[in-house]
Amino acid sequence: MKKHYKIEGMTCGGCQAAVEKHLNALEKVTHAAVNLEKGEATIIMATSIVLDKLQEVLPEKFRITEKSKEQAQQITNIEVGAATEKNKVQQLKPLFIILLYITVASLLLNYKVWDGSSFMLDFMGLFYIVFGFFKMLDITGFAVSFSMYDPVAKKIPIYGKIYPFIETVLGLLFLLRFEIKIALVLTVFILGITTIGVTKTLLSKTSIRCACLGTALKLPMTEATFIENAIMILMAISMLLI
Q: Are 187 and 236 in contact (CB under 8 A)?
A: yes
Least confidently predicted of 2-6, 16-20, 94-98, 206-210: 206-210
Which of 190, 203, 179 shows the shortest CA–CA distance to 229?
A: 190
Residue 77 or residue 12, greater confidence: 12
pTM of the predicted structure, to 2 decimals: 0.62
User: What is the predicted pLDDT for the residue at 169?
Assistant: 96
User: What is the predicted pLDDT for the residue at 177?
Assistant: 93
Q: What are phi and psi of 170, to 5 degrees?
A: -60, -40
- In the predicted model, what is the mean pLDDT of residues 118-122? 94
User: What is the predicted pLDDT for the residue at 173?
Assistant: 96
Q: Are 34 and 20 in contact (CB under 8 A)?
A: yes
Question: For residue range 28-40, what is the model confidence (pLDDT) as tens digits?
Answer: 888 888 888 888 8
pLDDT at 141 over 90: no
pLDDT at 104 over 70: yes
**Rounded CA gap, 143 and 163, in Å?**
8
pLDDT band at residue 87 using 50, 70 and 90 as cut-offs? low
- In the predicted model, what is the mean pLDDT of residues 66-91? 56
Q: Which residues contact 175 (CB under 8 A, 6 or more apart)?
A: 121, 122, 125, 126, 129
Return the bridge partners of 172, or none: none
Question: For residue range 159-172, what is the model confidence (pLDDT) as tens digits?
Answer: 999 999 999 999 99
Question: Mean pLDDT over all residues of the chain?
Answer: 85
Q: H or E stretch including 96?
A: helix 69-110
pLDDT at 208 over 80: no
Q: Are 35 and 4 in contact (CB under 8 A)?
A: no
Which CATH topology does 2-67 take?
A: Alpha-Beta Plaits (3.30.70)
**Rounded CA gap, 136 and 119, in Å?**
25
Q: Are 177 and 121 in contact (CB under 8 A)?
A: yes
- In the predicted model, what is the mean pLDDT of residues 30-59? 88
Sorted by where each begins, the domain ranges of the chain are: 2-67, 88-241
Residue 47 or residue 196, greater confidence: 196
pLDDT band at residue 70 using 50, 70 and 90 as cut-offs? very low
Return the bridge partners of 175, or none: none
pLDDT at 110 over 70: yes
